[in-house]
Structure formats: structure tokens, C-alpha cells
């Protein structure tokens, strides 16, 4: 792969925005302003990171998480760019590319969760499970949906992903000027595609991170093909996607621990004990042991200084230290595997056994056991399942015969009238020349589009209103 093509500033629409002589922004800087000015980005402030519908001012939302990922990704982009020029000495990487790489990664961090449904990753699971259970039972024109939709169409719902939804959202659904969504640069779009395969090519057992999940829906196959040709990736992962993924991993694995501590799910002493226990199998891993020892040092420093809450001081300051360490490790890993990454043959994450994987895995394991499996989370997730299942029951049944000659019930007509006019316009545009079964597929996407566009609070409120529960 070649950096000149990988950093392509063209847009899907094919026409760059008209500017006056006073606008000195690059195309990637324009992407940034399009993102932060969008309603889709603002809605992330009321979407779950770990704790659904949490009333605390401290714990993270998808918005604050995305800002952190954006910051980490930009920092790594700067570090990696300098290493490419000074250590690797790749002459094809021009000095001016450093700014472009940083801007692309900053934007990609803001976008990486923009397609997620309400209630976090659990929301994705509920949507997948609903379609697996109900698709064979639903009928269109007297035939089960499984006989109407081709294999990829069905698998798009069975393997539903917020990452995949992000590409659809920014290229189509965020209706601004026309049907091209935000009309972002191709380099940015390529960066947010973590998994360059369709729902038919998923292979979680392959050991290749490219096939872990799907990266695009059947509906966006032409956009995906266009991006692959323009960027020169041809089915391979964009190198900056590795950096984005590492930034996301660093942000959520450290933040989940901090949020869990603030919520009282884990104490300083429990965290220290768990970290030490996790390292018992690798006592020779000096980097890991030093990082864990730093947590205790931070606590002792707080006690010596007379800080009122030494445990909170220690955890919060230690988290910042770990983030810096992991950014360093990810940078070194990118440099070490540079040739494989550029050839499209590197199959792992940047945080590997040699580069920070031990501490990252420890944090992920501890957060899962102390936060994600806590009773409050279980209760909220059970409530989230009830909400999403109810919305899917109503809207899918209404959407099946929408825009057909088949009569709909009065309630179904009203349900479809409540959906976003923008989303329905996009459906009309892209279904215009399709056969009846592809139109059906697009109507099902219209439902998942609408639900993914909801915030946690809106989904809950809509459920209550439909059930006649006083809000």
C-alpha cells in the first residue's frame, strides 16, 4: 500500500467543497468540523459507555469516550509519523503527511462509535439476537424473510455491528446536502473500517483480526468497493485502522477501571491485589511489574502529602500513567511491524505480548468481573433488552409492508410516520431501482437505522410512551 493513495482526500460525491480564498483548511480539517457540528455526534452524550442511563456526572458516555479516543489516536499518529521518517526512513512518507495522519486519526476517533445503538455493546447483542430469533418467523408476501433475503442480507442483521453502522451513517444517513451523508474524505472512511470484510466473510477463529467482524453492509458494497480502489487497500486493512483500534482499546480499558472505581465497584486495594495476581504467571515481565508497582507508589505519595483521598488520587493518576505507557507500546509495535502492516499481512492488534498486552488484558479482565458483571449492570441490561425488543417488535412488523401495496394497520402507519423523515428519504432514494426483496432489506435497515439513531433516554422514553407508562 502507498501513503499517497492511503491519504486520499477525495470525497465519495467526487466534488470537493467550494471554498473562498480565506478558507485555508485542509480537506481533513473540514471533516473535523463536519463531525463535531453534526447531530449524530452530539447524541453520543446520551449513549452508554459502560453504565446505561447513569445519572453520575463523572462516568463516561460515548461522547467523552470518543473524545479520549480521538486524543489518543492523534497522539499516536504524531509519534508514528515521526518514527516513519526518522527510524524507518520511508521516503514515500512525505513530511507534510504527518499533519494529515494526525487530522485523519483525530476525526476517526470521534467517529468510531457514532453508529452504536442505545445501551452500548449490549444493545448490539440484543439487536443481533432479535433477528436470529425472529427472522425465520416473519413473512413477506407469504414467504419467510429467510427465503426473501439473500445470504449476505440476512447475515448483516445476524452479525449487526455499530462499527459497520458508522460507515452507513456517515456516507448516507446523515442527510445534509444530498444522499452522501457527511460526504467525508475517503482516507477517513477507510480508517474507520476496522474489518474489511462482508458479513459472509467473518471468521473469528482465523486468527486474523481482519475477519473478526464485518466492516460493511450489503447496502454499502459499492461504497466499500470505491474506497478500496481509491485507497489501494484492495481488501486489506488501512494502516491507520490499527492505530484507531489501539487508541480505542487504550481508552476503554483504562477508563472502565476508573469509572468502576468511581462507582464503587472496585476499591484501590482490590485493584492492586487483582493486578498482582494477574502478573503471578509472568513474574519475569518487568514492564508489567513496574506498572503495577507504580499504583502503590502513587498511593504512598498521596498519603505522604496528606491528600484526603489517597486511593482516588492513586487510581486516577495511575490511569494516566498507564495510558502513556500503552501509547508508547502501540507506537513501537506499529514501527516494528511496519512492513507487514503496509503489505496488509499483519494479522494482530498493536498491543501484543511484547508491547503492553499484559497490562491491557489485566485491565479488561478486572473491569469485566467488577463492573460488567455487577448487579446494577445486569438490571439495566435486562431493562435495555425489554426496551429494544419491544421497539424491534413494533417497527419491523410495520416496516415489512411499508411502501408496498399490502394494507398496513392504522398503528403501523402511525409507527412509520414517527420515523425520521431524513432516514425515510434515504430509503426512497436508494430503493428506487431495487427489486422487491432488496427493498425489503432496506426497510429492515430503516428500522435498525432509526433505533441506532436513538439515545438511551429517547429509547426508554419512547418505550414508556408506547406502553402508556407515565414518563
8 A C-beta contact, residue 332 and residue 76: no
Name the pLDDT band for 431 (thresholds 50, 70, 90).
very high
Per-residue cell: 2: 502507498
Say what the pTM is: 0.93
318 in Cβ contact with 298 (< 8 Å): yes
- Residue 401 is classified by DSSP as T
Residue 284 confidence class, pLDDT cut points 50, 70, 90: confident
Question: 340-352: per-residue pLDDT in tens?
Answer: 999 999 999 999 9
What is the DSSP track for 239-287?
HHHHHHHHHHHHHHHHHHHHHHHHTTSS-HHHHHHHHHHHTTT-TT-HH
The whole-number pLDDT of residue 19 equals: 57
> Could you please report the per-residue DSSP string of 187-218?
HHHHHH-SS-S-TTS--TTSS-GGGSS----G
31, pLDDT greater than 50: yes
| Kind and range of the H or E run holding 72 | helix 62-83
Cα separation, 317 vs 82, in Å, equals 27
CA distance readout (Å), 138 to 130, 150, 440, 447, 466:
12, 15, 12, 15, 22
Confidence of residue 21 (pLDDT cuts 50, 70, 90): low
pLDDT single digits (tens) 106-165 = 999 999 999 999 998 899 999 999 999 999 999 999 999 999 999 999 999 999 999 999
Amino acid at each position: 500500500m502507498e501513503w499517497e493513495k492511503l491519504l486520499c482526500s477525495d470525497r465519495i460525491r467526487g466534488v470537493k467543497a467550494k471554498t473562498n480564498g480565506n478558507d485555508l483548511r485542509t480537506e481533513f480539517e473540514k471533516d473535523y468540523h463536519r463531525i463535531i457540528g453534526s447531530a449524530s455526534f452530539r447524541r453520543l452524550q446520551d449513549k452508554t459507555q459502560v453504565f446505561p442511563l447513569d445519572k453520575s456526572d463523572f462516568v463516561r458516555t460515548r461522547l467523552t469516550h470518543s473524545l479520549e479516543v480521538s486524543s489518543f489516536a492523534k497522539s499516536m499518529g504524531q509519534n508514528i509519523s515521526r518514527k516513519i521518517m526518522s527510524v524507518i526512513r520511508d521516503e514515500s512518507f512525505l513530511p507534510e503527511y504527518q499533519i494529515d495522519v494526525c487530522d485523519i486519526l483525530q476525526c476517526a476517533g470521534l467517529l468510531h462509535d457514532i453508529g452504536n445503538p442505545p445501551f452500548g455493546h449490549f444493545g448490539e447483542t440484543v439487536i443481533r439476537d432479535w433477528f436470529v430469533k425472529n427472522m425465520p418467523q416473519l413473512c413477506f408476501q407469504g414467504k419467510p424473510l429467510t427465503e426473501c433475503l439473500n445470504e449476505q442480507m440476512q447475515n448483516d442483521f445476524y452479525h449487526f455491528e455499530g462499527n459497520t453502522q458508522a460507515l452507513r451513517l456517515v456516507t448516507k444517513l446523515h442527510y445534509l446536502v444530498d444522499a452522501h451523508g457527511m460526504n467525508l474524505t475517503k482516507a477517513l472512511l477507510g480508517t474507520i473500517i476496522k474489518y474489511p470484510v462482508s458479513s459472509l466473510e467473518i471468521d473469528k477463529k482465523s486468527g486474523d483480526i481482519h475477519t473478526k467482524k464485518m466492516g460493511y453492509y450489503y447496502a454499502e458494497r459499492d461504497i466499500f468497493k470505491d474506497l478500496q480502489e481509491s485507497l489501494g487497500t484492495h481488501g486489506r486493512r488501512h494502516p491507520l485502522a490499527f492505530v484507531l483500534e489501539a487508541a480505542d482499546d487504550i481508552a476503554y480499558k483504562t477508563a472502565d477501571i476508573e469509572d468502576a472505581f468511581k462507582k464503587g465497584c472496585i476499591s484501590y486495594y482490590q485493584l492492586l491485589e487483582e493486578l498482582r495476581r494477574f502478573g503471578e504467571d509472568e513474574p519475569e515481565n518487568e514492564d508489567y511489574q513496574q506498572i503495577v508497582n507504580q499504583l502503590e507508589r502513587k498511593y504512598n505519595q498521596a498519603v505522604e502529602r496528606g491528600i484526603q483521598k489517597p486511593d482516588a488520587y492513586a487510581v486516577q493518576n495511575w490511569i494516566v500513567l498507564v495510558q502513556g505507557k500503552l501509547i508508547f507500546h502501540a507506537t513501537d509495535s506499529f514501527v516494528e511491524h511496519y512492513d507487514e502492516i503496509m503489505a496488509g499481512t499483519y494479522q494482530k492488534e498493536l498491543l501484543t505480548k511484547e508491547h503492553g498486552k499484559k497490562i491491557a488484558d489485566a485491565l479488561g479482565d478486572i473491569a469485566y468481573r467488577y463492573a460488567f458483571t455487577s448487579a446494577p449492570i445486569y438490571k439495566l441490561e435486562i431493562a435495555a433488552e425489554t426496551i429494544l425488543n419491544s421497539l424491534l417488535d413494533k417497527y419491523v412488523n410495520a416496516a415489512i409492508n411499508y411502501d408496498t401495496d399490502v394494507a398496513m394497520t392504522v398503528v403501523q402507519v402511525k409507527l412509520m410516520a414517527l420515523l425520521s423523515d431524513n432516514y425515510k428519504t434515504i430509503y426512497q432514494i436508494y430503493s428506487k431501482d431495487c427489486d422487491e426483496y432488496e427493498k425489503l432489506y432496506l426497510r429492515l435497515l430503516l428500522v435498525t437505522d432509526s433505533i441506532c439513531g436513538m439515545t438511551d433516554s429517547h429509547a426508554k422514553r419512547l418505550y414508556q410512551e408506547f406502553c402508556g407508562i407515565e414518563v
